[in-house]
Amino acid sequence: MVFLVNLARVVFAPLIQPAAAEFGVQTATLGVVTSAAWFGSAAPRLPTGYLLTRVPRHRVVAGTGLALVGTSVFTGFATSPAHLVVGAFLMGLSSGVYFIAANPLVSELFPDRVGQAIGVHGMASQVAAVGAPVGLSVVLLVGDWRQTFFGIAAVAAVTTAVLVVASRRTDLPEAGTEDRSLLTAARAQWRVIVTGIAFVGSAGFVWNGLFNLYGDYLEVVKGIDPETGRLLLSLMFAAGLPAFVLTGMLADRVPNIPLLLGIVVSFALSVLALTVVEGVVAIAAVSLLVGYSVHSLFPAIDTYTLSALPDQHRASAYAVFSATMMSIQALGSGSVGLVVAGRLGYTAVFQGLALVLVTVAVVLVGLYRSDHLPSGGTPGQTPTAAAD
């Protein structure tokens, strides 16, 4: 299921070029489509946090599958940019609900190795990002880009049925039964929430603006054709496969704040390098660095937050954190697209964003050295023990 809900977000990045060609608009203009998918992913996270105080996590997860079936079919019939924007938003909703319900559930199923479990779960999600550009290229060879959405709907229907059967045969944890107030959790855990947002909100904004317009950036600035651009995008996503697993395991063993600081700085420097290098080989090499560094951020930040939050606050506080950071991320591609459409070049935009990200990291280093950042969970401890 995690493969499908992430596919619902990332599939729009490689298809905006063929969709723009069909609708007769500039590719950068359709950056709003990818932003809509991420806004859709952000929108239901707070309501889902409240829902989880009343409904078991596994039932909410199953509901996302049903939602994905209907929204994918709706998007597949898109006949205009506006229709595609609405479809992207609706498909994003399912991913937002899923991650709020599933990530706490995963951490509670494996309380003694949260990072590793989150890393493996994230790797499964990342397979969708890797396969989306190549898969779309195959679809375009045999048919229309809309068929991608009908395929997602069909697979989601089967997967949801399998998930329902499996959940009935599994003993599920009861760790979240005392989590009954979203507001109480937010007040009690605000320092962890704000710290997590500072890390992943800033870096996620840059990443969202970069990967969603990566193909157009390569074509306009680097002179690389769209098909090669989709392959390079897949390569960048592929770097996330080992990043999720290895960083998830590392997050179980080392203090999380220094790890997060190193990841954010590495990502910012790799984005700067991408704006400088020329040639397919050099761009591919730097794209691997970009992909590895940014995808290391996600298991590290989830390990940090989920291991720091106690049972009675975990799902609700995680929902507040996730909703806020996703709203910030979602602005990335639309903002970059609008600025570029306004005649400011991609290179200047990405270099400026990378420098801002370095500045954020410097501020966070200062706060960490002055003991103003909560350290999070202790590596090797269960979430409950770490938070007590």
- Percent of the chain topping pLDDT 90: 36
Query: What is the C-alpha to C-alpha distance for residues 83 and 80, in angstroms, rounded to an integer?
Result: 5
What would the mean pLDDT of 203-224 be, rounded to a whole number? Answer: 91
Q: Domain ranges in the chain?
A: 2-387
| pLDDT digits 0-9 by tens, 60-108 | 888 898 999 999 999 999 888 899 999 999 999 988 898 888 887 887 7
Q: What is the pLDDT of residues 150-194, one digit of tens each?
A: 989 998 999 888 888 877 776 666 655 566 678 888 898 899 999
Predicted pLDDT of residue 186: 86
Say what percent of the chain tops pLDDT 70. 93
Q: What is the pLDDT of residue 73?
A: 94
Dist CA 85 CA 12 (whole Å): 10
pLDDT over threshold 70, residue 10: yes
pTM over 0.85: no
Q: Of the spans 52-61, 166-175, 232-241, which averages the highest pLDDT?
A: 232-241
Amino acid at 149: F
Mean pLDDT across the stretch 318-325? 89
Q: What is the mean pLDDT of residues 304-324?
A: 86
Q: What is the dihedral of CA 259, 40, 319, 54, to 10 degrees?
A: -150
Give 95-142 pLDDT, tens digit per residue.
889 888 888 788 777 777 788 888 888 888 888 877 777 777 788 788
Please report how many Cα atoms fall inside a 13 Å half-sphere around the Cα of residue 5, on the Cβ side: 26
Give the burial string for 224-250 (b: 16+ CB within 10 Å, else e): bebebbbbbbbbbbbbbbebbbebbbb
Per-residue pLDDT tens digits for 342-382:
778 899 999 999 999 999 999 999 999 998 888 765 554 54
Whether pLDDT at 9 is above 90:
no
Give the model's pLDDT for residue 83: 92
Q: Which residues contact 288 (CB under 8 A, 6 or more apart)?
A: 235, 236, 239
Could you tell me the CATH superfamily of domain 2-387? Answer: MFS general substrate transporter like domains (1.20.1250.20)
What is the model's pLDDT at position 21?
84
At 285 the pLDDT is 96
**Confidence tier at 385 by pLDDT (50, 70, 90):** very low
Contact assessment for residue 171 and residue 108, using Cβ atoms and an 8 Å cutoff: no
- pLDDT given for residue 295 in this prediction: 94
Which residue, among 110, 111, 105, 108, has the nearest Cα to 64 in the 3D structure?
Answer: 105
Return d(Cα 106, Cα 298) in angstroms, integer: 15
What pLDDT was estimated at residue 279? 93
- Tell me, rounded to whole angstroms, the distance of Cα 276 from its chain centroid: 26
Backbone angles phi, psi at 368, to 5 degrees: -70, -45
Report pLDDT for 377: 58
Say what the pLDDT of residue 178 is. 63
**Which tokens in the block code for residue 245?**
């697993």
Chain segment 328-337, per-residue pLDDT in tens:
987 888 888 8
Q: Which residue has the higher pLDDT, 164 or 325?
A: 325
The pLDDT of 306-326, averaged and rounded, is 85
Tokens, residue 203: 């870096």
Average per-residue pLDDT for the chain: 86
User: Which pair of tokens denotes residue 97?
Assistant: 């609900």
- pLDDT reported for residue 175: 55
Mean predicted confidence (pLDDT) in 245-256: 91
Distance of CA 136 to the CA centre of its chain: 20
How much is the pLDDT for 111? 75
